[in-house]
Each structure stands twice: as C-alpha cells, then as structure tokens.
Amino acid sequence: MMFGMLVFVSANHFASAVHWASRYGYPFSQSFFQYYPTFLQEKLFPFQSDFGPGALWFIWYLFFYSLALLPLFLYIRRGSGRGITSWLGGFFEKRGALFLLAIPIALVLIYWPPSLLANFPIFYYIIFFIYGFFLYSEPSFQRGIDKSGPIAVVGGVVTMTLYMTLIFPVVYRMDLGNSYWPMIGDGPGTWTYTLYCILRSFNCWFWLIGLTYLGKKFLNFSNRFLRYANEAVLPFYIVHQTFIVLIGFYVVQWNMDVLPKFLIITIGTFVGLVVFYDLIIKRTNVTRFLFGVSLKKKLLQEERRASMPSEDGSAE
C-alpha cells in the first residue's frame, strides 16, 4: 500500500498537476522530483488536508477496517463467539433471510452518519466488510446464498431497472448528479429520497448475493488462465490508474475523435499492464512482495498441492 502510494500514486498526482496547470494557464515548471516533497507533505497519509490515495483508496479502507475490527473478529472466531456465528448462520440460512441485511445499508444511506474524513464514508462500506466476514465464516451462510441466490438475481434485475429509471427519467437528460432530484422529489429528508435509498440498498445487496450465487454455481473451477489472473489481479489494481493517467495524458492532446482516443488508452493500458507484470513484477520475490503477490517458493507449493490427486482420484 505504501509502496504503491510512494511510487505510482505520486506519479498520478504529478501528471494531474501538470494537466491542470496547462489547462488553466498558470505556471508550473517543477519536475517530478521537485514536486515529490509536495506530495509527501500534503497527500501521502490519511488525516492530511489533501490526502489523495488515488485508486488505492480501497486498500486503505481494508487496512483501517481490519485494524478496527480485528478484536471483534478474533472473538467471533474463538470461544463463545462461535456460538453467535453459528446462531446467525442458522437464521440466515433460511430462504430470503439474507435480504434483511439490506436494511442496515438503507438506514446508513437515509441517515448518513458523520464521517471521520472528507469523502471517506467509513460507516457505509464497513457494513459490507463485516457482512463479508460473516458470509464466509460458517458453511450455513453459504447454504443461505444457495437458497436465496436465484431470488436475488431476479430482484437485482427488477431493482436495477427501477433504479436506472430514476436516474434517467428523461431520454435527453442523462446526468447522474443531483439535478435529477427535482424530477422525483426534493433531497434528503423527503419520502422520495427515502424510497430511493431503500431501492438503491436492496439493488446493491441483491446483486452481491446474486453474483456470489452465480459465481459459486458456474465459476467454481480453476485452470491455468484463472490462476494467472488471480495472481495478477492485485498488481493490476495497484498500477492500472497510473498507466491510464500517463497514457491518457498524451493521448487526449492528439487531434482525433474521442472513440479512437478511448480505444488507444484502453488497449494501451491493458497491454502495458500485462507486459509490466510479466517482465517486472512476477520475476523476483522482491517485486512480488512489493505488489502483494505470493512468493515463488510458496506459489510452487500451492500449485503442487493443487495438482495432487484428491480423494476421488482426480486432480483438484
């Protein structure tokens, strides 16, 4: 996380500073290394006035949540906490019971609690973090997903249709901002806003349960490509924004239509990520460690274990 901030997010901020200086015509003559101390002083750490984690905001969330909830999770995994998990699993194993978990999500959206950091809705995303822990802590939760999954997929389609109808109420007005609220009511505190938050919450939770169900049913297998992708996903996530920003910084200045620019940036980013991962990240244990990839010795052990015959005589 810190490595990504120091090396890649800093490059994003530098490119952004150069871009905005050029766009609005104010002087900016610093090199990247001259700008770097500014990044360290203003954007590197949380609780700074202009903290800018870039695409790594997601990892910061997980880091803070893990620290804050570790005592609770340890209690649940040990001793009397196991009884609580077992009871909850038995309840939510019933068909449709998992959908009740959308209610806390809706309440947080309706009665938005104060955040410790600007643009950092801690109390919203932490709900999903806690749910994720419980869903994979007991087999009964997984059986609940199997029972509720088909209903969740249908519910996701229905609520998504209604949700998009609210966001795009007029064909020629397709803006996602607050400007669509006058068409269906006022802002927070009105009954239309409350209904919207309930719809949004259930839509989100329906899809999380539904996609998990579909993944368990149709994607529960492995092959060489999936093992490669599974290992590469975190490095791709850490580096992807930097490739997009740096390639886009030059491409947007070219005299061509938007679609060709989009295709060049998209394809160039993907190809660049694959090459960067294959030639640099995966080659040494040092780079693998810095990007959160399993070290080579551990990876070989995992692959050997995966290729061993299972009890029924087939490879896992």
Do residues 292 and 62 touch, judged by C-beta distance below 8 A?
no
84-112 pLDDT per residue, tens:
888 888 999 999 999 999 999 999 988 87
- Cβ–Cβ contacts within 10 Å for residue 197, how many? 19
* Range from 35-44, 113-122, 206-215 that averages highest in pLDDT: 206-215
Do residues 235 and 1 touch, judged by C-beta distance below 8 A?
no
Distance CA 58, CA 200 (A): 21
Residue 284 predicted with pLDDT over 70: yes
How high is the pLDDT of residue 227? 87
pTM: 0.75
5-63 pLDDT per residue, tens:
888 888 888 888 887 777 777 777 788 888 888 888 777 777 666 777 778 888 888 88
Task: Name the pLDDT band for 176 (thresholds 50, 70, 90).
Answer: very low
Helix axes 224-251, 10-24, angle to 10 degrees: 30
How high is the pLDDT of residue 306? 60
